[in-house]
Amino acid sequence: MIRCVDIETFSAQLSNLDPTETEVIISVIENFLAKAAGTKKGEEREKALKAVVEEVVDEVANVAKINAGTKYVLVDPILRPKLDWYDESLDFIKKCHKDRIQASGLGNIMRVDVISRASQQFESDGVHLTQASGKIFVEAILEASDKCFKADYVDLGKDEPRTKGAPGPELSLEVRMSRLENEVEERRWYDNLLFARTREELDTIANRAKEDRIVITGLTSSTPPPSEWVPRKEWLRKLVIATLTKVYPEFNGQLGFINQGKNNGKDIPMVEVKCKSSNVAMAIRKSFAEKRKGDPNIFGRLYIANSVSLSTRVRVDIMKALAKKLTNKVVTAHVAAYSSRPILHVRDVGKPESTSRAYTFIDSMAQFGGAIVREDLDDAYRRAGNAFRGQMEQHFVVLKEGPNPHAKTSGPRHPPATRKGKRSREDEEAGTSSGPKSKKK
């Protein structure tokens, strides 16, 4: 394994290969691409990228002609998040790479595409793969290359030239199945991203229509509720008004309807409250958040949140798990959850908030989704429950149909990660509740 950061070093290493080294794997083209593009833009950059790809492949072809007994495997280029332009140019680069290898016409040069975009997770420098992704990458390279090296070598130069349109040498069944599996998995990933993006947009529209509402859990009262329905409704209304006045002293006591959720064995259920305007609802939520930030115990078990769909709350759980995974000594991440569309903010430590990078749910999954493992998603699986059976991946991309330990199904289940501590206020808000009765589907 030799590190090459420029074409000259690469050329020198190729020309100095020992004839006994009959199996060579090459995966260094990203370094050359970054240097070749420099500050170029548009068509000028595309020309530079194409030229460096062709130069790399031609260098390998020249050596492969001399060392006919050596097999060369060229690994398709992967992402490079540090470069803003790289992602949108990757498909073009891979096509140039594939076309040039085919154009060489040499049977001892092969290419492999071994890691899906979803599995390409990088360190904060945007250059090096994380330890987990790096392991996947290397193992996949070795496995795919091993199949190429073991494949029968056919020297077409000894046969009559093939006529145009005649079939070439048949690939082994294993190679064809592996390629098909990779293509299907890649297509499935992009299809799920498309479906999930559509669902996120629909939820955002629905959530915006409910920005004048708040959801309250953990209500307490020193007086028990009346047993009769009408007095009980009036008692609950007075309790809600008194609670909101305590949270937001400027509250004038004017409310619209109050929807009650299932009480789950509690005397006072979760309630959805319609305020007079979205500004009032926002002011109440902001006041609650600020006061609880100053003193986490100021309101006891009381929790006030915005009224959004269950799928939005599942997305928030996933994004919180992702933010926790991304946060380290050099990068910090947090989720802005109190909005119709949750946003993941990522910024470098020591830099102001104005320099943070913002990602919607789908953008964050496309960029960082591979960083999350099953053990990180326990909260999301529990909140999703059985509500999205048959549509988990199409809604949330990274949630799978089988491993939900909280779903009451008879199918095979993976053991849940061990968790300690009390349920959070958000958990109580959703938990096993189906939400306000008027919103139950």
In this structure, is residue 181 part of a structural domain? no
Q: Contact, 368 vs 319, CB < 8 A?
A: no
In this structure, is residue 203 part of a structural domain? no
Indicate whether 286 and 321 sit together in one domain: no
pLDDT of amino acid 416 = 38
Q: Which of 282, 306, 330 marks a domain boundary?
A: 306
Indicate whether 68 and 93 sit together in one domain: yes
Indicate whether 342 and 252 sit together in one domain: no
In this structure, is residue 283 part of a structural domain? yes
Any idea what the CATH number is for the domain that residue 71 is in? Answer: 3.40.50
pLDDT of amino acid 152 = 67
Indicate whether 317 and 394 sit together in one domain: yes
pLDDT of amino acid 1 = 52
Indicate whether 295 and 341 sit together in one domain: no
pLDDT of amino acid 25 = 93
pLDDT of amino acid 59 = 92
In this structure, is residue 355 part of a structural domain? yes
Indicate whether 15 and 162 sit together in one domain: yes
DSSP state of 255: E
pLDDT of amino acid 204 = 92
Indicate whether 371 and 338 sit together in one domain: yes
Indicate whether 417 and 400 sit together in one domain: yes
Q: Contact, 383 vs 430, CB < 8 A?
A: yes
In this structure, is residue 441 part of a structural domain? no
In this structure, is residue 185 part of a structural domain? no
Q: Which of 133, 150, 166 marks a domain boundary?
A: 166
Report DSSP letters for 131-195, one per residue.
Answer: HHHHHHHHHHHHHHHHHHHHSPP--GGGSPPPPTT---PPPPHHHHHHHHHHHHHHHHHHHHHHH
∠ at Cα 180 (144, 88), nearest 5°?
A: 85
Q: Which of 135, 166, 197 marks a domain boundary?
A: 166
Q: Contact, 75 vs 89, CB < 8 A?
A: no
Indicate whether 300 and 315 sit together in one domain: no
In this structure, is residue 45 part of a structural domain? yes
DSSP state of 122: B
In this structure, is residue 205 part of a structural domain? no
**Torsion sign (Cα): 219, 221, 224, 225:** negative
Any idea what the CATH number is for the domain that residue 252 is in? Answer: 3.30.70
Mean pLDDT by 10 residues, the chain (441 residues): 76 82 90 89 92 93 88 92 87 92 90 82 84 87 88 52 47 74 81 90 92 88 84 89 91 86 68 90 89 85 89 94 87 86 87 78 85 87 90 90 51 37 42 40 37
Classify strands 23-26 and 255-260 as parallel, antiparallel or unpaired: unpaired
Indicate whether 43 and 162 sit together in one domain: yes
Indicate whether 274 and 329 sit together in one domain: no
Query: Distance between CA atoms of 262 and 322, rounded to whole angstroms?
Result: 31
pTM of the model: 0.56
Q: Which of 31, 38, 27 is nearest to 5 (CA)?
A: 31
Indicate whether 146 and 264 sit together in one domain: no
pLDDT of amino acid 418 = 36
The range of the structural domain enclosing residue 72 comes to 7-166
Q: Contact, 74 vs 97, CB < 8 A?
A: yes
Query: Distance between CA atoms of 196 and 394, rounded to whole angstroms?
Result: 5
Could you give the C-alpha distances from 310 to 44, 215, 385, 435, in angstroms and in order?
A: 48, 12, 10, 8
Number of compact structural domains in the chain: 3
